[in-house]
Chains A and B, each alone.
Chain A
Amino acid sequence: MTQLTDLGVKAIRDGVAAGEFSAREVAEAFNANVAAAKDLNAFIVATPEKALEAAAKVDADRAAGEPLASMAGVPIGMKDLFATKGVQTTAASHILDHFIPEYESAVSQKLWDAGAGMLGKLNMDQFAMGSSNETSFYGNVISPWRRKDGGNAPLAPGGSSGGSSTAVSARLCPAATGTDTGGSIRQPAAFTGICGIKPTYGRCSRWGIVAFASSLDQAGPMARSVEDCAIMLGAMAGFDPKDSTSLDMPVPDWAGALNADLRGKRVGIPREYRMDGMDAEIAASWDQGVAWLKDAGAEVVDISLPHTKYALPAYYIVAPAEASSNLARYDGVRYGLREMPERANLQEMYAATRAAGFGDEVKRRILIGTYVLSAGFYDAYYTQAMKVRTLIQRDFAAAFERCDVILAPTAPSAAFALGEKSDDPIAMYLNDVFAVPASLAGLPAMSVPAGLNSEGLPLGLQIIGKTFDEQGVLDAGLAIEQRAGFAARPERWW
């Protein structure tokens, strides 16, 4: 018999509905995998009782003949950026020590309402700032993947949703939530051979998600198939009056409308993404992706996104600026850590608390953000970056006159070793070079596994779609998934 923990979202939901196994059996199987995988450090807090409680409800509903919702019986991992009522939520930062929310985030509530259960809170880069999961106060997450050179160097699971990518890839959960500010769903998905989609900005409510850069932050699902992502995104998305940028529009039935027939569709290949010194294996997998989409019936067109090289520097002004403002709330007064040196006054208490509570990368970004927003520098840095952001959005608008979706690599390399880039912030930032432009323009984008490189590590392909066209992104993702036939999985060593 197939192991329950090898099943994805759809297979579990359908199996529970058909009575092939109970939701309780599924929850128990995943709880056991979570408990046995401490070496991966994917979870900050495990909540096996929550998973069992949700499963019991689903099993009881089924026994009573009640209708089952779209995620009924599916236990998931919850990134620790989502406030979960009664369960510690820290954004992987010391400054949120012992924070137990009194409320549930909009997205997690929707998932519970859809019948999902919580296996635990997933580790991540502190405040979602990082691309390797090395900035967490709770320690590095280790990728379940290893290079096939026998060296066993611990590899980065990507970031910031590194606990999510590791947990899904290692079969600790069939799916997990992620959040993407500048690639934090797509890059970790690519590094670990799974799928992940960031929807159009505003599709998923930000209410109850610890804020990093509010004009960029979007939640999305991470799972092992395109269809599982479509099902879970359907459960996460939807209008929320509590988020002023929430999109007030219906949620389409993405999963029901999935269609890998791309005849009549045009796929744009942005020439600026083919950068000097590009990794040959990344270039080859991109070419393979083009061939797959042609095989699915799409027409391939050459497009230009002229301001691509300015996207990352613009992002590293806009995101820190917003972060410096958002993170001003951590003051040692209302929640989380308080550092109270002898005879400190209020200002000294703030400064001591923030010095002790924030990690180095978070401090770097707060300082950069404070600087670019400070008197005399605002126009030169922040206003200029927001003008460049307008130009990047115009680039995409012009390109989408000529194509329906864009195909590009997700990341410039396969997973790197932990420690390899952690001393050089800019080298780390460059990892998001292909992911950040779509974030700045608020566009839906997803990563799907394309294959393994010569080291035996997964490579991802990225599909970027028009505003509101998650369907086009998922459809092209499905066409790639069907042709890539990606079945590789990390060999268990943990």
Chain B
Amino acid sequence: MSVDRKTVAKIASLARIEMDGDALDRMVPEFNNILAWVEQLGEVDTSGVEPMTAVIPQALRLRDDVVDADPLTGGGIRDKVLANAPAPEHGFFGVPKVIE
């Protein structure tokens, strides 16, 4: 199945990647080449086959149900969390205004 420019533009919008006309013109044929190539998977008879859910079967562990069970991934580290933010404000992540 081949997709048109409008579809690629829609996908780019879903993926939140701005693409101008030139970028879309370049992407459409590349996108279709890759799709045409992966479509050979349709040849494989997968009736009765379960999709893989875990490459190495193992039970999912639960961490202890306590605050800061692991200090590396626990709370109380606001300044570290914000240290790389491009526009932190008053201890929060700053973003463009979202309410008029």
Contacts and interface: CB of A to CB of B under 8 A. Distances in A.
A355 interface: yes
A351 interface: yes
A188 B30 CA distance: 25
Nearest to B100: A345
A356 to B, nearest CB: 8
Interface stretch (A156-164, A169-177, A240-248, A397-405): A240-248
A324 interface: yes
A349 B96 contact: yes
Interface residues of B, number: 55
B41 to A, nearest CB: 5
Taking chain B's interface residues, is the majority helix, strand, or loop, or is none over half, making it mixed? loop
B72 A242 contact: yes
Contacts of B13: 351
A350 B13 CA distance: 10
A99 B95 CA distance: 18
B38 A381 contact: yes
A446 B83 CA distance: 39
A349 B17 CA distance: 10
B86 A338 contact: yes
A489 interface: no
Interface in B52-100: 52-56, 58, 60-61, 63, 70, 72-73, 77, 80-81, 83-87, 93, 95-98
B21 interface: no
Contacts of A313: 37-41
Contact of B51 (A316, A386, A426): A386
B86 A390 contact: no
Centre residue among B41, B55, B72 by max chain A CB count within 10 A: B55
Interface stretch (A277-285, A363-371, A410-418): A363-371
Interface string A303-322: 00001011001101100000
Given A367-B15, A383-B51, A389-B52, A335 B84 contact: yes
Contact of B84 (A99, A346, A354, A385): A99
Given A247-B56, A316-B38, A387-B46, A370 B14 contact: yes
A310 B46 CA distance: 12
Interface string A290-310: 000000000000000001011
Contact of A371 (B3, B40, B63, B83): B3
Given A247-B56, A425-B30, A366 B15 contact: yes
Given A349-B95, A354-B18, A425-B34, A389 B86 contact: no
A372 to B, nearest CB: 8
Contacts of A324: 15
Interface of A: 98-103, 200-202, 215-216, 241-242, 244-245, 247-248, 307, 309-310, 313-314, 316-317, 324, 328, 331-338, 340, 344-352, 354-355, 358, 363-364, 366-368, 370-371, 374, 380-381, 383-391, 393, 425-426, 440-442, 467
The 8 closest A-B pairs by CB, nearest first: A386-B51, A442-B55, A335-B84, A338-B86, A387-B46, A355-B18, A351-B18, A102-B80
Interface of B: 3, 8, 11-19, 23, 27, 30-31, 33-35, 37-44, 46, 49-56, 58, 60-61, 63, 70, 72-73, 77, 80-81, 83-87, 93, 95-98
